Structure formats: structure tokens, C-alpha cells
Chains A and B, each alone.
Chain A
Amino acid sequence: MATFNNTDLAAFKDVWVFCEQRQGKLMPTDFELISEGRKLADELGVQVCGLLLGDGVDGLARELGGYGADKVYVCNSPLLKDYTTDGYAKVVCDAVESRKPEVVLFGASTLGRDLGPRCAARLHTGLCADCTHLDVDMPIYKDFLRENSTLPSERIEGVKTAKVLGQDHDVSRDLKMTRPAFGGHLMASIICPRFRPAMATVRPGVMKKAPFDQKKADACQIVALDVALTREEIHTEVLETVKAAKKLVDLIGADYIVSVGRGIGKDVEKGLKLAEDLAAELGGVVGGSRAVVDAGWLSADHQVGQTGKTVHPKIYVALGISGAIQHKAGMQDSECIIAVNKTPTAPIFEIADYGICGDLFKVTPLLTDAIRAAKAAK
């Protein structure tokens, strides 16, 4: 067995979170990860530390404390103003090699998924992509399995060790990184038993953000790290960063679709407005059944179904759509179908995950408000 400098596992401690900032603003995922890191650090009995890179970003550090960071390492350099793989990877790897954290978490953003693998390869350790659940403590992990898997309980009870290089390895102190695979049809819990740090990218929006605590923010220790980085070490150059004015979404690519059917006929204008409001709240677009398009209430590019478009959004809300077979053909593979219809026997309810039997003109605005409130509470 070759010897690497990261096999003395006991030398590594603390949970680190790479805190991504863009144009001097922290990302929401940073708070989620600090909160989750706090939980893991408590299970391990170590500290959770933020790692913040940028140019003059000291001012951002304290807020991370408010979500549970014991310490924030700040690396400032004009060379870190824009994200570059080479520059950020060098600074992150230098910090990890000198301070030896046990766990490093990255947000699975398009930049986190660029930086994480580059660092893991350089640090010679494992990286688990796009995790949706993290555990250390075995009883907590087993509770998670009981609730979220179809594994028989004796299998769950038996989770203790893993075969590592032919030996039984006790996984009780390993980070269990759970992620979906094969398009979500399978879940897998991954460990990184031989090397440190154990690294993961974590899907944005999944981990719960802790409530902000000003006392903790005040107590957070901010540590500036020296940056040893030269321009010659960066082989890419960011010419410009452009924010899209408005994210253009079509029906097929949309994550959220609110579709209307003949049921809006009572007051077409109002029905469409209510659908648009709900779609706007969800961050999606409005679609329609064939009946609505044939009636000229929506243009043909809105049509979902056999002769329209086939869609598979995260949420498909069917308002006043009966669910004729040719409509179902276009939307039945949606991740979650919500149907609102006055007729309790409407076929749409047969394929809906959630059905509300009621008048769409009454239900839709209430639903929009409830979703707004639920999002605000997160």
C-alpha cells in the first residue's frame, strides 16, 4: 500500500464548509451547509468552520457564525475576485493540507461541482456528489434508513462495518453521505474510510437552514489565512460574468407547470390570472389542455397532451382539467401532480398525487398564498 499524507485519519478533525460567494454575496446554500455542518460537528465532537474565498470578503464572515460556524477562515486576494478553478483549488487545497479537516462540504452549485472534484483529486481523497442527506451518528443514520428506505429492519440493524481492503472497517465515525442515483430510482450511502478529509457536494435547497442567532455570530472567530497564489498559477481568465435578465423557460424544460382546463370557462380572464399567479409563485409557467387551446384562451404552444407537448416537471398543477386520456399522455410522468377539480370522479384524480375537490376559483388563490407562506418559512 502506497503511503499518502492523508491516511493518518486521527490527525484530521473539524467539519469545514466551503462558503461560496458571488459578486461579494454569500449563497443561500452556505447557510444550509453551515447549519448541517453544525449538526455533524456536534455528532463528531469537533468544530464547524467556514472557508471563505474572495477579494475583500471579511465582512461576510460573521453572518456565517449566526448559523453555527465556530470559526471562519477567510482568504482574501485580488486573484480570488472571480472564481477560477485553478485559483480556488490551490487556496482550498493549501488550507486543507495545512489544517487537516475531517470533513469538507461544498454546495453542489455549478461552481461547487467544478471545484470539489478538482480539490478531491489533488488531495487524494474521495468525494461524494450531490448529497441529499448526511449522517455520522449510527442510531440517527439508522432512523433515517427506517424512514426513507424499503430495506428490511434486520438489514438496517446489521449496518456496522464495511469491507475495506478485505478488512471489516467500523463505520461509526465515518460520514455517511446519501445521494440519489439512476435518476432517483436508487439511493446509496457512501463512505470514505481510508482517506481524509471525507468530501461531499450537497444539493442546494435540501439541508435545513438553522435560525440565525446574533449571539453566535458575535462569538464566531474569524481567522485570516495567508494566500500563496500567483497569477501564473491560474490558467483560465474570466472575461465577463453576465446575469441572465430573465430565465426563459418553455413548457418542456419547466420545473413547475400550472395547467388550466375547461374549468376556467366561467371567467377565462380571472382563471388565467389565478394560474399565472400560482405559476409565478412556484417559479414556473402556465400550460393548458386541448380544450383551452381550441377555445383560443391560450396559444397552441401552451398545449400539454397527445397533440401538444409532453412534460415532466417537478410539480404539475391541473386546474379544472378533467384528465382525458390524451391530456394524461402528456403529463403523467410529472414528479408530483396536484389536481383541483369540482367533479370528485374526474379521471385526473386517479393519477394525481394530491387532489383537492373544489372550485378552482376559490382554491387557487388560497394555494398560492399557502405556498408563499411555506416557502417563506423555510
Chain B
Amino acid sequence: MKIIVCVKQVPDTSGKVAVNPDGTLNRASMQTITNPDDLNAVEAALALKDTTGCQVVVVSMGPPPAEGMLREVLARGADEAYLVSAREFGGSDTFATSQIIAAAIHRIGVGEGDIVLCGRQAIDGDTAQVGPQIAEKLHIPQVSYVADIQMDGSTVTCKRILEDGYMTVRTQTPCLLTCIKELNTPRYMSVPGIVGCYDKPLTVLNYEALKDEPLIEVDTIGLAGSPTNILTSFTPPQKGAGMMLEGDGKETCEKLAGLLADKHII
């Protein structure tokens, strides 16, 4: 049994986000972190490793510095890492990305008894699309928004969160689950884990390594090949200074409620 976990290095959008004059993100000024939901996926895999002794393999697509993040996941306890990295893959949308990662997972091998885990969504794009799209490309079942995982042989039973409750969903391995933060609390890296993380195997899969994989369509990868294109990107108008409303009566309150309704925050 093995668990393949997909992780992504993302800019930390929780702090101050710098935007270039042309409306693109000033990535150089931002810290990078491991995507938070992905750490829940990693933890779920490591918890299963603790109980079953299964192998935990992490996969990330990103530029070469993403190796640092993969080493951190190895330091938490994963066994092996793959970095999918090539200029040809850059700028991929979710369709293209899922195709490339699915090809990498296919290369690593996913079969009976195996599980693929993803975070629900990444904080840079917030799409939540790559997990389900990988599952589709790999022709395996998916359960998204997973808040609990129970394994019984090849049967996987998940608590799948809805807006107003949850579903209990049962499926079989191999399958793909997307994990939410309610699933667990990620463990820290450990000191011995950090000491040993550079001795664990890390393989770079570049364009050459993956281009002949059957799941790769060379026409729909990268910035040029992605089905979706960015037409314009822009910053919303700056939040103005605070506004003192005139009066303290009914009309004032109605005006305020109207402003809130216009902003779609009530």
C-alpha cells in the first residue's frame, strides 16, 4: 500500500500581498509556504503510515526551489518525493496541471490498495479543481472535502463535508481524496526528520521524462496550451478611508445596510 500526496508551494497570502504596477503579483516580495490544506493531506498520509506502515510518496509541480518544500515534507516523515518541474509546464491552468500531475502519478504507479491525497484547494488560486481533475485523468473515484478517513482493507469510508452537514461516502482503493483542515492537525517537522531529509530519495521529473506518458497531450500543457487564458488581471480599487455616516437614525442604518448588501457581505 502506498499513499501519494500532492503538495504545492504557494505564496503566503495571509500576510501583506504586494502587487506590481501592471497588476501582476510581486512574487519576489512574498514568502512561500506549503499550501495549508496540502499539509492536512500530508498528515492524513503520515497518520495512515503510523498505523499501517504504508509508504508515503509526495509529488509537487513547481519551479526548482520547490525542492525545499518537498524536503520539509520528507522531514515530517514522508518517504520519497517527486518534483515535476519543466519550463514547458509553467503557466499551466488546472486542466493542464492535472494532466501533468496525473502523468507523474501514473509514472510512480497507482494501483490496488493505493490512495492519492490532495489538499482541497491552494490558497493562491483557490480553485479546488486540480484534485478532481487528477482523479478523472487517472480514472479513479474521488471524494472531496474530506474531514475523516477510515480504512478497512481496500474500503475507504470518508466523512464528506457539505455546507450544512456532511455525507458519509464509501469507496474502494485506488481513489483520490481531497482533504480539508478539519481532518487533522498537521504534525511538525522533527529534529531527526530534518537531519535525515536530504538522505531520502527525491526525483525530478522534467519534460523529457514525462512527454511520452500517455496522459500527456503536448497541445494542452503549459501557458500556451492551457484551455483557459487570462484576458486581464487587475487589482480591485483600494479600500477607501473609513466613512462616517451622517446621523444615527433609521435612515442612517438603512443606508449602511444598503452599502453592505451592495458589497455582498450580508
Contacts and interface: CB of A to CB of B under 8 A. Distances in A.
Would A and B touch once assembled, by the CB under 8 A criterion?
Answer: yes
Given A126-B93, A237-B171, A185 B257 contact: no
Interface residues of B, number: 85
A367 B230 contact: no
Interface string B23-34: 111000000000
B234 A338 contact: no
Interface string A327-356: 000000001111000000000011111111
A134 to B, nearest CB: 13
A326 interface: no
Given A194-B227, A236-B143, A367-B256, A354 B132 contact: no
A191 B93 CA distance: 12
Interface string A343-374: 00000011111111111001100110111011
A235 interface: yes
Contacts of A185: 13, 17, 19, 25, 235
B137 to A, nearest CB: 6
Contacts of A130: 126-128
Interface stretch (A69-77, A241-249, A260-268): A241-249
Contact of B242 (A110, A183, A352): A352
A114 B260 CA distance: 30
Interface string A65-99: 00000000000000000110110010000000000
Contact of A192 (B128, B137, B228, B242): B228
B217 interface: yes
A159 B25 contact: no
Interface string B237-260: 111001111011110111011111
Interface of B: 11, 13-14, 17, 19, 23-25, 93-95, 98, 123-133, 135-137, 140-145, 157, 161-172, 175, 217, 219-220, 224, 226-239, 242-245, 247-250, 252-254, 256-261, 263-266
Contacts of B264: 205-206
A174 B232 CA distance: 13
Given A188-B230, A354-B242, A236 B141 contact: yes
Contacts of A242: 165-168
A121 B264 CA distance: 31
Contact of B229 (A124, A181, A191): A191
Given A114-B142, A120-B95, A190-B230, 4 more contacts: A117-B98, A117-B132, A370-B257, A377-B261
Contacts of A367: 253, 256-257
A150 B237 contact: yes
Contacts of A111: 162
A164 interface: yes
